Amino acid sequence: MAHHANSLGRKLRFAQIIVFEQVLRSGSILRAAQELNLTQPAVTKVIHELEGHFGGPLLVRGNRGVTATELGELVARRSKSLLAELRHMTDEVNAFQEGAAGQVLVGTLISASAVLLPRAIQLLKARAPAVVVTLRVGQMDQLLPALSVGDLDLVVARIPDDGSWQGKLPGLEAEALYAEQLCAVGGAHHPLASRNATSLAEMLAFPWILPTRDSSLRRTAERLFFEAGLGAPSNVVESLSVLTNVALMLDQQTVGLMPRTEAQQFAEAGMLAILPLAELPGFGEIGCFACSGRVPAQAVTLFRACLRDAATQALRGMPT
């Protein structure tokens, strides 16, 4: 059955799309009804109406609740984009009525969030205090798909060197903000901190914190030991939790790797020392990912400008 955009546009209502999206999010018609303050029959009726509009079943009921059919997945993907546009339109109309307002949904990796994001948020709040910034921390394989369907407005992270993300998610663009260096760190009074130089071989004698195996930083670390002709450290904790890692290094023995701008913050606070290790590669470019096909809301555009300003300040080594 061929659909014409105008006829579908006349039949479809945003309220129906909101209901459908909530059912998939909840995985259950009953839970969706509770979330939306509707009765279960009302939600079922909306789903039947949508299935009539699209000419096929959108949901399949299993023992784990409801999931989308192949047609349902297609409709869900576009629904997320429509709802993201609706959210942006609401934000922009509110901003027009009240001055700059709205919401920015930002995904980030822990390694990219220590300096750049707090500074960018401070700059945004100085310019537009009413904008709500919501942060979601995850790995790239969770964040980029969420960005491409409109669940996130921006992702701030290290841009992978291999460009593999472009093939998987062709609608996304990345803007490089600054190049980050990698450095070795330990407690402020670590035995190696007062030395003029040290080597990876010397550092192997100490307990190490390595990034978890699913992170790109872990591959960088492993390549580092391999290229130096060394085996991996034997005494290891695997962690991406910045707070835990800093606390572990306060034993003045444990060492690890950190992006330099992040390490400098802790060094200035007197908690960590940057160890004099020369043979470290660059961490890579920290950038901002966005969906190229979507017209960004005013708050999102403003936040991107704040990210650029924060990156310029980070490059100058200004205190944040």
**CA of 124: how far to CAs of 85, 128, 132, 133, 155, in Å?**
22, 6, 10, 9, 16
* Ranges of the chain with pLDDT below 70: 1-6, 9, 94-101, 110-113, 315-320
**CA of 15: how far to CAs of 3, 84, 255, 282, in Å?**
20, 14, 54, 49
User: What pLDDT shows up at residue 255?
Assistant: 96
User: What pLDDT shows up at residue 295?
Assistant: 77
DSSP 40-58: HHHHHHHHHHHHHHHTS--
User: What pLDDT shows up at residue 320?
Assistant: 39
Report the distance separating Cα 154 and Cα 124, nearest Å. 15
User: What pLDDT shows up at residue 63?
Assistant: 79
Report the distance separating Cα 93 and Cα 99, nearest Å. 10
Burial of 262 (C-beta count, 10 Å sphere; 0-12/13-18/19+): buried
pTM: 0.64
Only one residue has tokens 């930083």, namely 217
Least Cα distance to 140 among 121, 118, 158 occurs for 158
**CA 175 to chain centroid:** 15
User: What pLDDT shows up at residue 207?
Assistant: 96
Please name each of the domains of the chain with its CATH number: 5-78 (1.10.10.10), 100-171+288-316 (3.40.190.10), 179-284 (3.40.190.290)
Length of the chain in terms of residues written:
320
Cβ contacts of residue 293 below 8 Å, gap of 6+?
Answer: 171
Cβ contacts of residue 301 below 8 Å, gap of 6+?
Answer: none
Q: CA neighbours within 13 Å on the CB side: how many for 235?
A: 9
Could you report the per-residue pLDDT of 72-83, keeping only the tens digit for each? 998 888 888 888
H-helix segments, 13-171: 14-26, 29-36, 40-54, 70-98, 116-127, 140-149, 164-168
Report the distance separating Cα 288 and Cα 308, nearest Å. 9
Cβ contacts of residue 277 below 8 Å, gap of 6+?
Answer: 183, 184, 197, 198, 199, 200, 203
For residue 57, the one-letter residue type is P
Least Cα distance to 300 among 89, 118, 138 occurs for 89
Element (H, E) at 176: strand 172-187
Q: Beta-strand (E) ranges in 202-313?
A: 208-210, 236-238, 255-259, 272-274, 282-291
- Asked if 66 and 29 touch (Cβ cutoff 8 Å), the reply is yes
User: What pLDDT shows up at residue 98?
Assistant: 54
- Asked if 311 and 180 touch (Cβ cutoff 8 Å), the reply is no
Cβ contacts of residue 311 below 8 Å, gap of 6+?
Answer: 116, 177, 178, 286
User: What pLDDT shows up at residue 208?
Assistant: 96
Report the distance separating Cα 206 and Cα 236, nearest Å. 9
Q: Residue 243 is encoded by which pair of tokens?
A: 């707070």
* Burial call 126-135: b when 16+ CB within 10 Å, e when fewer: eebeebebee
